[in-house]
Structure 1
Amino acid sequence: MPRTVLITGCSSGFGAATARLFASKGWNVIATMRQPQADLGLGALTNVLVERLDVQDQASIGSAIETGLARFGRIDVLVNNAGFGLFGIFEATPADKIREQFDVNVFGLMEVTRAILPHFRANRAGVLVNISSGAGVFALPMISLYCASKFALEGFSEALSYELAPLGIRVRVVEPGGVIETGFGKRSELEAGGHASPVDYAGFVAVAERFFSGLRVARSGATSEQVAEVIYAAATDETDRLRYVATEDIAPLVTARRETSEEAYMAFMRSSVAPQLEG
Protein backbone atom coordinates (compact mmCIF):
# COMPACT_ATOMS: atom_id res chain seq x y z
CA MET A 1 0.00 0.00 0.00
CA PRO A 2 1.17 3.59 -0.59
CA ARG A 3 2.77 5.27 2.39
CA THR A 4 1.24 8.41 3.87
CA VAL A 5 2.82 11.71 4.94
CA LEU A 6 1.27 14.55 6.95
CA ILE A 7 2.84 17.95 6.26
CA THR A 8 2.15 21.20 8.13
CA GLY A 9 2.33 24.65 6.55
CA CYS A 10 1.39 23.62 3.01
CA SER A 11 -0.13 26.88 1.78
CA SER A 12 3.18 27.95 0.19
CA GLY A 13 6.94 27.48 0.12
CA PHE A 14 8.57 24.30 1.37
CA GLY A 15 5.29 22.78 2.51
CA ALA A 16 3.51 23.11 -0.83
CA ALA A 17 6.57 21.90 -2.77
CA THR A 18 7.03 18.95 -0.43
CA ALA A 19 3.37 17.94 -0.72
CA ARG A 20 3.61 17.98 -4.50
CA LEU A 21 6.83 15.95 -4.50
CA PHE A 22 5.51 13.23 -2.19
CA ALA A 23 2.32 13.01 -4.25
CA SER A 24 4.38 12.64 -7.44
CA LYS A 25 6.23 9.74 -5.79
CA GLY A 26 2.94 7.90 -5.22
CA TRP A 27 2.48 8.76 -1.54
CA ASN A 28 -0.80 9.64 0.12
CA VAL A 29 -0.46 13.23 1.34
CA ILE A 30 -2.30 15.01 4.15
CA ALA A 31 -1.50 18.61 3.24
CA THR A 32 -2.40 20.84 6.16
CA MET A 33 -2.56 24.60 6.54
CA ARG A 34 -4.17 27.22 8.75
CA GLN A 35 -6.53 28.34 5.99
CA PRO A 36 -7.44 25.54 3.56
CA GLN A 37 -9.04 28.11 1.26
CA ALA A 38 -5.47 29.23 0.52
CA ASP A 39 -4.80 25.90 -1.20
CA LEU A 40 -3.29 26.54 -4.63
CA GLY A 41 -4.37 23.30 -6.25
CA LEU A 42 -3.00 20.60 -3.95
CA GLY A 43 -6.48 19.25 -3.34
CA ALA A 44 -6.87 18.50 -7.04
CA LEU A 45 -3.94 16.08 -6.99
CA THR A 46 -4.47 12.35 -6.71
CA ASN A 47 -4.25 11.03 -3.13
CA VAL A 48 -3.88 14.50 -1.57
CA LEU A 49 -6.17 15.45 1.29
CA VAL A 50 -6.16 19.15 2.24
CA GLU A 51 -7.04 19.73 5.91
CA ARG A 52 -7.05 22.62 8.32
CA LEU A 53 -4.30 22.46 10.94
CA ASP A 54 -3.19 25.46 12.98
CA VAL A 55 -0.31 24.49 15.25
CA GLN A 56 -1.66 26.97 17.82
CA ASP A 57 -5.06 25.23 17.85
CA GLN A 58 -4.94 21.87 19.65
CA ALA A 59 -8.36 20.79 18.37
CA SER A 60 -7.34 21.33 14.75
CA ILE A 61 -4.25 19.16 15.23
CA GLY A 62 -6.26 16.19 16.50
CA SER A 63 -8.92 16.65 13.86
CA ALA A 64 -6.44 16.70 10.98
CA ILE A 65 -4.74 13.54 12.20
CA GLU A 66 -8.03 11.73 12.75
CA THR A 67 -9.37 12.74 9.34
CA GLY A 68 -6.15 11.67 7.67
CA LEU A 69 -6.24 8.29 9.39
CA ALA A 70 -9.88 7.80 8.44
CA ARG A 71 -9.01 8.51 4.79
CA PHE A 72 -5.73 6.61 4.46
CA GLY A 73 -5.63 4.23 7.44
CA ARG A 74 -2.07 5.00 8.47
CA ILE A 75 0.48 7.84 8.69
CA ASP A 76 4.13 6.97 8.11
CA VAL A 77 5.85 10.36 8.12
CA LEU A 78 5.19 13.71 9.79
CA VAL A 79 6.88 16.78 8.29
CA ASN A 80 6.80 19.65 10.79
CA ASN A 81 7.20 22.53 8.38
CA ALA A 82 4.93 25.31 9.69
CA GLY A 83 6.83 28.29 11.04
CA PHE A 84 7.73 31.94 10.65
CA GLY A 85 10.57 34.29 11.56
CA LEU A 86 10.75 37.56 13.47
CA PHE A 87 13.22 40.14 12.18
CA GLY A 88 14.36 43.08 14.26
CA ILE A 89 16.08 44.25 17.41
CA PHE A 90 15.25 42.04 20.39
CA GLU A 91 14.68 44.94 22.79
CA ALA A 92 12.04 46.41 20.49
CA THR A 93 10.06 43.19 20.03
CA PRO A 94 6.78 43.08 21.98
CA ALA A 95 6.31 40.23 24.44
CA ASP A 96 3.26 38.91 22.58
CA LYS A 97 5.31 38.54 19.37
CA ILE A 98 8.06 36.72 21.27
CA ARG A 99 5.49 34.27 22.62
CA GLU A 100 4.00 33.80 19.16
CA GLN A 101 7.44 33.00 17.73
CA PHE A 102 7.81 30.14 20.20
CA ASP A 103 4.15 29.11 20.08
CA VAL A 104 4.45 28.43 16.35
CA ASN A 105 8.05 27.32 15.84
CA VAL A 106 8.52 25.30 19.04
CA PHE A 107 5.42 24.61 21.12
CA GLY A 108 3.15 24.10 18.12
CA LEU A 109 5.63 21.70 16.57
CA MET A 110 5.81 19.83 19.88
CA GLU A 111 2.02 19.52 20.07
CA VAL A 112 1.74 18.10 16.54
CA THR A 113 4.55 15.67 17.38
CA ARG A 114 2.91 14.64 20.66
CA ALA A 115 -0.38 14.03 18.84
CA ILE A 116 1.14 11.69 16.23
CA LEU A 117 3.40 9.68 18.55
CA PRO A 118 0.74 7.26 19.88
CA HIS A 119 0.06 6.21 16.28
CA PHE A 120 3.76 5.78 15.55
CA ARG A 121 4.29 3.83 18.77
CA ALA A 122 1.43 1.49 17.94
CA ASN A 123 3.05 0.80 14.56
CA ARG A 124 6.58 0.62 16.03
CA ALA A 125 7.53 2.78 13.04
CA GLY A 126 7.39 6.35 11.82
CA VAL A 127 9.57 9.27 10.77
CA LEU A 128 9.51 12.81 12.16
CA VAL A 129 11.07 15.41 9.85
CA ASN A 130 11.52 18.76 11.59
CA ILE A 131 12.31 21.75 9.39
CA SER A 132 14.96 23.83 11.09
CA SER A 133 17.18 26.48 9.47
CA GLY A 134 20.76 27.61 9.18
CA ALA A 135 19.63 29.93 11.98
CA GLY A 136 19.32 26.83 14.14
CA VAL A 137 23.04 26.19 13.72
CA PHE A 138 24.63 29.65 13.79
CA ALA A 139 23.30 32.95 15.12
CA LEU A 140 23.02 36.31 13.39
CA PRO A 141 21.83 39.66 14.76
CA MET A 142 18.34 40.96 13.99
CA ILE A 143 16.94 37.42 14.05
CA SER A 144 17.73 36.56 17.67
CA LEU A 145 14.24 35.23 18.41
CA TYR A 146 14.05 33.16 15.24
CA CYS A 147 17.49 31.75 16.06
CA ALA A 148 16.37 30.99 19.60
CA SER A 149 13.31 29.10 18.35
CA LYS A 150 15.33 27.06 15.85
CA PHE A 151 18.11 26.34 18.36
CA ALA A 152 15.35 25.00 20.63
CA LEU A 153 14.01 22.86 17.77
CA GLU A 154 17.47 21.42 17.15
CA GLY A 155 17.99 20.45 20.79
CA PHE A 156 14.49 19.04 21.10
CA SER A 157 14.89 16.97 17.94
CA GLU A 158 18.24 15.50 18.95
CA ALA A 159 17.06 14.56 22.44
CA LEU A 160 13.82 13.12 21.06
CA SER A 161 15.73 10.98 18.59
CA TYR A 162 17.31 9.10 21.48
CA GLU A 163 13.95 8.53 23.19
CA LEU A 164 12.22 7.28 20.06
CA ALA A 165 14.91 5.13 18.43
CA PRO A 166 14.12 2.07 20.61
CA LEU A 167 10.50 2.31 19.41
CA GLY A 168 11.45 2.20 15.74
CA ILE A 169 10.72 5.91 15.22
CA ARG A 170 13.34 8.03 13.44
CA VAL A 171 13.87 11.78 13.76
CA ARG A 172 15.30 13.97 11.02
CA VAL A 173 16.28 17.66 11.02
CA VAL A 174 16.43 19.51 7.69
CA GLU A 175 18.34 22.81 7.66
CA PRO A 176 17.63 25.14 4.71
CA GLY A 177 19.16 28.54 4.19
CA GLY A 178 17.56 31.45 2.38
CA VAL A 179 15.14 30.56 -0.41
CA ILE A 180 13.76 33.79 -1.80
CA GLU A 181 10.51 32.60 -3.36
CA THR A 182 8.98 31.03 -0.26
CA GLY A 183 7.40 34.25 1.00
CA PHE A 184 9.10 33.67 4.36
CA GLY A 185 11.25 36.79 4.11
CA LYS A 186 8.27 38.94 3.19
CA ARG A 187 6.42 37.96 6.36
CA SER A 188 9.55 38.62 8.43
CA GLU A 189 9.79 42.12 6.98
CA LEU A 190 6.13 42.78 7.75
CA GLU A 191 6.61 41.61 11.33
CA ALA A 192 9.64 43.89 11.71
CA GLY A 193 7.69 46.86 10.45
CA GLY A 194 5.26 46.60 13.32
CA HIS A 195 7.60 47.96 16.00
CA ALA A 196 10.27 50.67 16.01
CA SER A 197 13.70 50.19 17.55
CA PRO A 198 15.14 52.62 20.13
CA VAL A 199 17.08 55.39 18.43
CA ASP A 200 20.38 54.11 19.87
CA TYR A 201 20.13 51.15 17.48
CA ALA A 202 19.46 53.25 14.37
CA GLY A 203 22.98 53.11 12.94
CA PHE A 204 23.35 49.40 13.54
CA VAL A 205 19.91 48.62 12.09
CA ALA A 206 20.68 50.54 8.90
CA VAL A 207 23.94 48.65 8.40
CA ALA A 208 22.35 45.31 9.31
CA GLU A 209 19.55 45.81 6.80
CA ARG A 210 22.12 46.43 4.07
CA PHE A 211 24.00 43.32 5.22
CA PHE A 212 20.89 41.13 4.97
CA SER A 213 19.99 42.66 1.61
CA GLY A 214 23.43 41.60 0.41
CA LEU A 215 22.85 38.09 1.72
CA ARG A 216 19.60 37.86 -0.22
CA VAL A 217 21.34 38.88 -3.44
CA ALA A 218 24.19 36.40 -2.84
CA ARG A 219 22.00 33.41 -2.05
CA SER A 220 22.58 30.15 -3.82
CA GLY A 221 19.46 30.35 -5.96
CA ALA A 222 18.00 27.30 -4.27
CA THR A 223 14.29 26.70 -4.74
CA SER A 224 11.55 25.25 -2.59
CA GLU A 225 11.53 22.26 -4.90
CA GLN A 226 15.20 21.56 -4.17
CA VAL A 227 14.58 21.78 -0.44
CA ALA A 228 11.62 19.43 -0.88
CA GLU A 229 13.98 16.89 -2.46
CA VAL A 230 16.14 16.98 0.68
CA ILE A 231 13.06 16.61 2.88
CA TYR A 232 11.99 13.58 0.85
CA ALA A 233 15.49 12.09 1.07
CA ALA A 234 15.50 12.57 4.84
CA ALA A 235 12.06 11.00 5.20
CA THR A 236 13.05 7.91 3.23
CA ASP A 237 16.62 7.51 4.54
CA GLU A 238 17.00 4.19 6.37
CA THR A 239 20.21 5.21 8.16
CA ASP A 240 20.61 6.79 11.61
CA ARG A 241 21.48 10.21 10.19
CA LEU A 242 19.91 13.11 12.09
CA ARG A 243 20.73 16.36 10.25
CA TYR A 244 20.58 17.37 6.57
CA VAL A 245 21.89 20.71 5.26
CA ALA A 246 19.48 21.59 2.47
CA THR A 247 21.05 24.56 0.64
CA GLU A 248 24.64 25.37 -0.26
CA ASP A 249 24.53 29.01 0.82
CA ILE A 250 24.79 28.12 4.51
CA ALA A 251 27.40 25.37 4.14
CA PRO A 252 30.44 27.56 5.04
CA LEU A 253 28.83 28.81 8.26
CA VAL A 254 27.58 25.34 9.20
CA THR A 255 31.05 23.91 8.64
CA ALA A 256 32.65 26.68 10.69
CA ARG A 257 30.21 26.13 13.54
CA ARG A 258 30.38 22.33 13.64
CA GLU A 259 33.85 21.43 12.45
CA THR A 260 36.12 24.01 14.10
CA SER A 261 36.87 25.05 17.66
CA GLU A 262 34.86 27.73 19.44
CA GLU A 263 37.80 30.10 19.14
CA ALA A 264 38.19 29.47 15.41
CA TYR A 265 34.45 29.85 14.83
CA MET A 266 34.18 33.15 16.70
CA ALA A 267 37.26 34.47 14.92
CA PHE A 268 35.71 33.50 11.59
CA MET A 269 32.43 35.24 12.44
CA ARG A 270 34.15 38.38 13.69
CA SER A 271 36.31 38.59 10.60
CA SER A 272 33.55 37.86 8.06
CA VAL A 273 30.28 39.09 9.56
CA ALA A 274 31.12 41.58 12.31
CA PRO A 275 33.11 44.05 10.14
CA GLN A 276 30.19 44.30 7.75
CA LEU A 277 27.89 45.14 10.64
CA GLU A 278 30.20 47.81 11.98
CA GLY A 279 30.27 49.83 8.78
Structure 2
Amino acid sequence: MEPIHKTTDRVWYITGTSSGLGLNLVQQLVKKPNTQVVAITRNPTETQSRIDSKYLENVTIIKADVTNEESVKESIKETMAKFGKIDCVVNNAGFGIIGAGEELSNEEIRKIFDVNFFGLLNVVRHVTPILREQKSGYIFNISSVAGWLGLPEMGAYCSSKFAVSGLTACLDQELSPFGIKVILLSPSGFKSNFVDTGMSIAKNRIDSYNTSDRCKWIDDIVNNARGDPDKFSETVINLSENENPPKNVFLGTHAIQLMRMWFSAQAAEMEKNLDISISTDYEHAPKIEY
Protein backbone atom coordinates (compact mmCIF):
# COMPACT_ATOMS: atom_id res chain seq x y z
CA MET A 1 0.00 0.00 0.00
CA GLU A 2 1.36 3.38 -0.98
CA PRO A 3 1.44 5.89 1.89
CA ILE A 4 -0.96 8.79 1.90
CA HIS A 5 2.12 11.00 1.77
CA LYS A 6 5.66 9.76 2.08
CA THR A 7 7.14 12.20 4.51
CA THR A 8 10.69 13.51 4.52
CA ASP A 9 10.32 14.09 8.26
CA ARG A 10 11.97 11.71 10.71
CA VAL A 11 9.38 9.22 11.97
CA TRP A 12 9.54 7.83 15.52
CA TYR A 13 7.48 4.85 16.70
CA ILE A 14 7.37 4.73 20.53
CA THR A 15 5.56 2.33 22.86
CA GLY A 16 4.47 2.99 26.44
CA THR A 17 3.65 6.67 25.95
CA SER A 18 0.90 7.38 28.47
CA SER A 19 3.34 8.19 31.29
CA GLY A 20 6.94 8.13 32.46
CA LEU A 21 9.98 8.22 30.19
CA GLY A 22 7.99 7.26 27.09
CA LEU A 23 5.62 10.20 27.49
CA ASN A 24 8.52 12.58 28.18
CA LEU A 25 10.27 11.46 24.99
CA VAL A 26 7.11 12.14 22.98
CA GLN A 27 6.75 15.57 24.61
CA GLN A 28 10.31 16.48 23.66
CA LEU A 29 10.22 15.06 20.13
CA VAL A 30 7.03 16.85 19.05
CA LYS A 31 8.83 20.16 19.58
CA LYS A 32 11.54 19.27 17.08
CA PRO A 33 11.23 20.44 13.49
CA ASN A 34 10.99 17.84 10.72
CA THR A 35 9.85 15.18 13.19
CA GLN A 36 6.72 13.03 13.32
CA VAL A 37 5.95 10.89 16.37
CA VAL A 38 3.75 7.81 16.48
CA ALA A 39 2.77 7.31 20.12
CA ILE A 40 1.59 3.78 20.91
CA THR A 41 -0.57 3.56 24.00
CA ARG A 42 -3.48 1.70 25.52
CA ASN A 43 -4.83 5.08 26.75
CA PRO A 44 -4.89 7.55 23.83
CA THR A 45 -6.95 10.13 25.74
CA GLU A 46 -4.43 10.16 28.58
CA THR A 47 -1.48 10.53 26.21
CA GLN A 48 -3.15 13.31 24.22
CA SER A 49 -4.08 15.25 27.37
CA ARG A 50 -0.38 15.44 28.34
CA ILE A 51 0.89 16.86 25.06
CA ASP A 52 0.85 20.60 24.45
CA SER A 53 -2.02 21.22 22.02
CA LYS A 54 0.14 23.39 19.75
CA TYR A 55 2.28 20.34 18.98
CA LEU A 56 -0.51 17.79 18.44
CA GLU A 57 -0.15 18.05 14.66
CA ASN A 58 3.29 16.45 15.07
CA VAL A 59 2.02 13.32 16.82
CA THR A 60 -0.14 10.41 15.72
CA ILE A 61 -1.57 8.61 18.74
CA ILE A 62 -2.50 4.99 18.08
CA LYS A 63 -4.31 2.75 20.52
CA ALA A 64 -2.54 -0.59 20.58
CA ASP A 65 -1.61 -3.34 23.01
CA VAL A 66 1.96 -4.59 22.59
CA THR A 67 0.98 -8.00 24.01
CA ASN A 68 -1.39 -8.50 21.07
CA GLU A 69 0.57 -9.26 17.92
CA GLU A 70 -2.27 -8.30 15.58
CA SER A 71 -2.66 -4.99 17.40
CA VAL A 72 1.04 -4.28 16.92
CA LYS A 73 0.90 -5.25 13.23
CA GLU A 74 -2.05 -2.92 12.66
CA SER A 75 -0.31 -0.01 14.39
CA ILE A 76 2.77 -0.46 12.20
CA LYS A 77 0.60 -0.82 9.11
CA GLU A 78 -1.18 2.43 10.02
CA THR A 79 2.17 4.16 10.55
CA MET A 80 3.44 3.05 7.15
CA ALA A 81 0.17 3.99 5.45
CA LYS A 82 0.51 7.52 6.77
CA PHE A 83 4.25 8.13 6.57
CA GLY A 84 5.78 5.45 4.36
CA LYS A 85 8.73 4.81 6.65
CA ILE A 86 9.92 4.39 10.23
CA ASP A 87 13.27 5.81 11.30
CA CYS A 88 13.44 5.22 15.05
CA VAL A 89 11.73 2.62 17.22
CA VAL A 90 11.66 2.93 21.01
CA ASN A 91 10.48 -0.13 22.92
CA ASN A 92 9.57 1.48 26.22
CA ALA A 93 6.35 -0.26 27.29
CA GLY A 94 6.81 -2.11 30.55
CA PHE A 95 5.82 -2.50 34.18
CA GLY A 96 7.11 -4.05 37.38
CA ILE A 97 5.87 -6.35 40.10
CA ILE A 98 7.25 -6.81 43.60
CA GLY A 99 7.24 -10.25 45.14
CA ALA A 100 9.53 -13.10 46.08
CA GLY A 101 9.65 -16.06 43.73
CA GLU A 102 7.52 -18.08 46.12
CA GLU A 103 4.89 -15.34 46.25
CA LEU A 104 4.53 -14.85 42.50
CA SER A 105 1.91 -16.76 40.54
CA ASN A 106 2.40 -18.11 37.01
CA GLU A 107 -0.21 -15.60 35.85
CA GLU A 108 1.72 -12.66 37.34
CA ILE A 109 5.06 -13.77 35.91
CA ARG A 110 3.63 -14.49 32.47
CA LYS A 111 1.88 -11.13 32.41
CA ILE A 112 5.09 -9.18 33.06
CA PHE A 113 6.95 -11.19 30.41
CA ASP A 114 4.09 -10.64 27.96
CA VAL A 115 4.57 -6.88 28.22
CA ASN A 116 8.27 -6.39 29.00
CA PHE A 117 9.68 -9.07 26.70
CA PHE A 118 7.17 -10.56 24.27
CA GLY A 119 5.55 -7.16 23.67
CA LEU A 120 8.95 -5.77 22.71
CA LEU A 121 9.56 -8.81 20.50
CA ASN A 122 6.21 -8.29 18.75
CA VAL A 123 7.31 -4.79 17.78
CA VAL A 124 10.80 -5.87 16.70
CA ARG A 125 9.43 -8.71 14.57
CA HIS A 126 7.17 -6.44 12.57
CA VAL A 127 9.34 -3.34 12.18
CA THR A 128 12.44 -5.30 11.18
CA PRO A 129 11.28 -6.08 7.59
CA ILE A 130 10.64 -2.35 7.08
CA LEU A 131 14.01 -1.29 8.44
CA ARG A 132 15.79 -4.04 6.48
CA GLU A 133 14.21 -2.84 3.25
CA GLN A 134 15.16 0.75 4.09
CA LYS A 135 18.66 -0.45 5.05
CA SER A 136 18.50 2.01 7.92
CA GLY A 137 16.87 2.67 11.25
CA TYR A 138 17.40 2.72 14.99
CA ILE A 139 15.89 0.36 17.55
CA PHE A 140 16.13 1.47 21.19
CA ASN A 141 15.25 -1.24 23.71
CA ILE A 142 14.70 0.09 27.21
CA SER A 143 16.02 -2.35 29.79
CA SER A 144 17.22 -1.38 33.28
CA VAL A 145 20.13 -1.89 35.62
CA ALA A 146 17.75 -4.54 36.93
CA GLY A 147 18.34 -6.29 33.61
CA TRP A 148 21.91 -6.99 34.71
CA LEU A 149 21.78 -7.59 38.45
CA GLY A 150 19.39 -9.48 40.67
CA LEU A 151 17.32 -7.75 43.34
CA PRO A 152 15.37 -9.53 46.09
CA GLU A 153 11.59 -9.50 45.69
CA MET A 154 12.11 -8.25 42.12
CA GLY A 155 12.71 -11.57 40.37
CA ALA A 156 9.92 -11.27 37.79
CA TYR A 157 10.89 -7.74 36.75
CA CYS A 158 14.64 -8.44 36.76
CA SER A 159 14.32 -11.64 34.74
CA SER A 160 12.10 -9.95 32.13
CA LYS A 161 14.70 -7.20 31.74
CA PHE A 162 17.54 -9.76 31.66
CA ALA A 163 15.68 -11.26 28.70
CA VAL A 164 15.48 -7.85 27.01
CA SER A 165 19.22 -7.30 27.52
CA GLY A 166 20.06 -10.73 26.07
CA LEU A 167 17.74 -10.39 23.09
CA THR A 168 19.10 -6.93 22.27
CA ALA A 169 22.69 -8.20 22.16
CA CYS A 170 21.59 -10.84 19.64
CA LEU A 171 19.54 -8.41 17.55
CA ASP A 172 22.51 -6.08 17.25
CA GLN A 173 24.57 -8.84 15.62
CA GLU A 174 21.71 -9.98 13.40
CA LEU A 175 20.64 -6.57 12.14
CA SER A 176 23.84 -4.54 11.88
CA PRO A 177 24.62 -6.03 8.42
CA PHE A 178 21.41 -4.34 7.21
CA GLY A 179 22.40 -0.90 8.47
CA ILE A 180 20.08 -1.11 11.49
CA LYS A 181 21.43 0.24 14.79
CA VAL A 182 20.21 -1.62 17.88
CA ILE A 183 20.87 0.13 21.18
CA LEU A 184 20.25 -1.14 24.70
CA LEU A 185 19.51 1.52 27.31
CA SER A 186 19.76 0.51 30.98
CA PRO A 187 18.72 3.36 33.28
CA SER A 188 18.87 3.51 37.04
CA GLY A 189 16.37 5.66 38.97
CA PHE A 190 14.64 8.48 37.06
CA LYS A 191 12.01 10.84 38.40
CA SER A 192 8.73 9.46 37.10
CA ASN A 193 5.44 8.01 38.24
CA PHE A 194 6.57 4.45 37.47
CA VAL A 195 6.02 3.23 41.05
CA ASP A 196 2.50 4.70 41.12
CA THR A 197 1.36 3.60 37.66
CA GLY A 198 3.74 0.84 36.59
CA MET A 199 4.46 -1.19 39.74
CA SER A 200 2.23 -3.73 41.44
CA ILE A 201 2.62 -6.19 44.32
CA ALA A 202 2.17 -9.96 44.24
CA LYS A 203 -1.30 -10.97 45.39
CA ASN A 204 0.03 -13.84 47.48
CA ARG A 205 1.90 -12.37 50.45
CA ILE A 206 4.10 -14.49 52.72
CA ASP A 207 5.10 -12.96 56.05
CA SER A 208 8.61 -14.45 55.92
CA TYR A 209 9.57 -12.08 53.10
CA ASN A 210 10.01 -8.32 53.34
CA THR A 211 7.86 -7.47 50.34
CA SER A 212 6.27 -4.48 52.09
CA ASP A 213 9.70 -3.12 53.02
CA ARG A 214 10.80 -3.58 49.41
CA CYS A 215 7.92 -1.33 48.32
CA LYS A 216 9.13 1.38 50.69
CA TRP A 217 12.71 0.92 49.44
CA ILE A 218 11.62 1.40 45.84
CA ASP A 219 9.61 4.48 46.82
CA ASP A 220 12.77 5.90 48.40
CA ILE A 221 14.78 5.22 45.24
CA VAL A 222 12.23 7.01 43.06
CA ASN A 223 11.78 9.92 45.47
CA ASN A 224 15.55 10.42 45.59
CA ALA A 225 16.19 9.59 41.95
CA ARG A 226 18.98 11.55 40.29
CA GLY A 227 17.78 10.82 36.75
CA ASP A 228 16.27 13.73 34.83
CA PRO A 229 13.62 12.52 32.31
CA ASP A 230 14.32 15.51 30.04
CA LYS A 231 17.98 14.51 29.86
CA PHE A 232 16.97 10.92 29.19
CA SER A 233 14.97 12.11 26.17
CA GLU A 234 17.78 14.39 25.04
CA THR A 235 20.21 11.46 25.19
CA VAL A 236 17.95 9.18 23.13
CA ILE A 237 17.51 11.91 20.50
CA ASN A 238 21.27 12.56 20.35
CA LEU A 239 22.00 8.84 19.99
CA SER A 240 19.53 8.64 17.11
CA GLU A 241 21.62 11.23 15.27
CA ASN A 242 24.86 9.31 15.79
CA GLU A 243 25.89 7.20 12.78
CA ASN A 244 27.95 4.92 15.04
CA PRO A 245 26.06 4.89 18.35
CA PRO A 246 27.16 2.79 21.32
CA LYS A 247 25.46 -0.58 21.57
CA ASN A 248 24.90 -0.57 25.32
CA VAL A 249 24.48 2.50 27.51
CA PHE A 250 23.93 2.68 31.26
CA LEU A 251 22.10 5.87 32.21
CA GLY A 252 22.65 7.61 35.53
CA THR A 253 25.46 7.87 38.06
CA HIS A 254 23.77 5.25 40.22
CA ALA A 255 23.73 2.92 37.23
CA ILE A 256 27.50 3.25 36.90
CA GLN A 257 28.02 2.68 40.63
CA LEU A 258 25.81 -0.42 40.64
CA MET A 259 27.23 -1.93 37.49
CA ARG A 260 30.85 -1.42 38.53
CA MET A 261 30.12 -3.26 41.77
CA TRP A 262 28.20 -5.98 39.95
CA PHE A 263 30.78 -6.66 37.24
CA SER A 264 33.58 -6.58 39.79
CA ALA A 265 31.76 -9.08 42.00
CA GLN A 266 31.04 -11.38 39.05
CA ALA A 267 34.67 -11.30 37.90
CA ALA A 268 35.87 -12.05 41.43
CA GLU A 269 33.44 -14.96 41.74
CA MET A 270 34.59 -16.38 38.40
CA GLU A 271 38.25 -16.25 39.42
CA LYS A 272 37.45 -17.77 42.82
CA ASN A 273 35.82 -20.77 41.14
CA LEU A 274 38.34 -21.11 38.32
CA ASP A 275 39.48 -24.60 39.35
CA ILE A 276 35.90 -25.85 39.33
CA SER A 277 35.27 -24.29 35.93
CA ILE A 278 38.23 -25.82 34.11
CA SER A 279 37.86 -29.18 35.86
CA THR A 280 34.91 -30.00 33.62
CA ASP A 281 37.03 -30.22 30.41
CA TYR A 282 37.94 -33.60 28.94
CA GLU A 283 41.33 -34.74 30.22
CA HIS A 284 42.59 -35.10 26.64
CA ALA A 285 41.23 -31.74 25.46
CA PRO A 286 43.99 -29.43 24.15
CA LYS A 287 45.11 -26.96 26.80
CA ILE A 288 44.19 -23.36 26.12
CA GLU A 289 45.08 -20.08 27.77
CA TYR A 290 42.51 -18.60 30.09
Same fold flag (TM > 0.5)? yes
Query: What is the one-letter code of the residue matched to 1:50?
Result: I
* Structure whose alpha-carbon radius of gyration is higher: 2
Q: Is the 8 A contact 1:91 1:197 kept in 2?
A: no
Question: Any idea what SS the aligned residue of 2:30 has?
Answer: helix
Instruction: Tell me the residue number matched to 2:88.
Output: 77
Instruction: Tell me the residue number matched to 1:215.
Output: 221
Q: 1:23-62 CA distances to partner (integer Å, 9 max, x unpaired)? A: 2222111111012122224384232111112101222211
Aligned pair count reads 261
Q: How much has 1:210 moved relative to structure 2?
A: 4.9
Q: Is the 8 A contact 1:230 1:244 kept in 2?
A: no
User: Is residue 133 of structure 1 aligned with residue 144 of structure 2?
Assistant: yes
Instruction: Tell me the residue number matched to 2:284.
Output: none
Q: Is the 8 A contact 1:8 1:15 kept in 2?
A: yes
Query: What is the one-letter code of the residue matched to 2:225?
Result: R
Query: What is the one-letter code of the residue matched to 2:184?
Result: V
User: Is residue 11 of structure 1 aligned with residue 18 of structure 2?
Assistant: yes
Question: For residues 1-279 of structure 1, what are the structure 2 equivalents within 5 Å?
Answer: 1-26=8-33, 27-39=35-47, 40-42=49-51, 44=53, 45=55, 46-181=57-192, 183-187=193-197, 189=199, 191-192=200-201, 195-201=203-209, 204-205=210-211, 207-220=213-226, 222-258=227-263, 261-263=266-268
Q: How much has 1:257 moved relative to structure 2?
A: 2.5
Query: What is the one-letter code of the residue matched to 1:34?
Result: R
Which stretch has the larger CA shift, 89-98 or 252-261?
A: 252-261
Query: What is the one-letter code of the residue matched to 2:195?
Result: G
Q: How much has 1:264 moved relative to structure 2?
A: 7.0
Measure the CA separation in 2 of the matches of 1:55 and 1:208.
Answer: 28
Measure the CA separation in 1 of the matches of 2:119 and 2:173.
Answer: 21
Question: Any idea what SS the aligned residue of 1:140 has?
Answer: coil
Q: How much has 1:3 moved relative to structure 2?
A: 1.0
Q: 1:207-226 CA distances to partner (integer Å, 9 max, x unpaired)? A: 54454444344431x23222
Instruction: Tell me the residue number matched to 2:287.
Output: none
Q: How much has 1:228 moved relative to structure 2?
A: 1.3
Question: Do the aligned partners of residues 144 and 120 (structure 1) sit closer, same or farther apart at CA in structure 2, a change above 3 Å counting?
Answer: same
Measure the CA separation in 1 of the matches of 2:67 and 2:219.
Answer: 31
- More helix as a share of residues: 1
Question: Any idea what SS the aligned residue of 1:59 has?
Answer: helix
Q: Is the 8 A contact 1:129 1:234 kept in 2?
A: no
Question: Do the aligned partners of residues 175 and 205 (structure 1) sit closer, same or farther apart at CA in structure 2, a change above 3 Å counting?
Answer: same
Q: Is the 8 A contact 1:51 1:64 kept in 2?
A: yes
Report the aligned-residue RMSD.
Answer: 2.3
Q: Please, what TM-score do these two structures have when normalized by structure 1? A: 0.85
Q: Please, what TM-score do these two structures have when normalized by structure 2? A: 0.82
Q: Is the 8 A contact 1:138 1:257 kept in 2?
A: yes
Structure 1, unaligned runs of 5 or more:
266-279
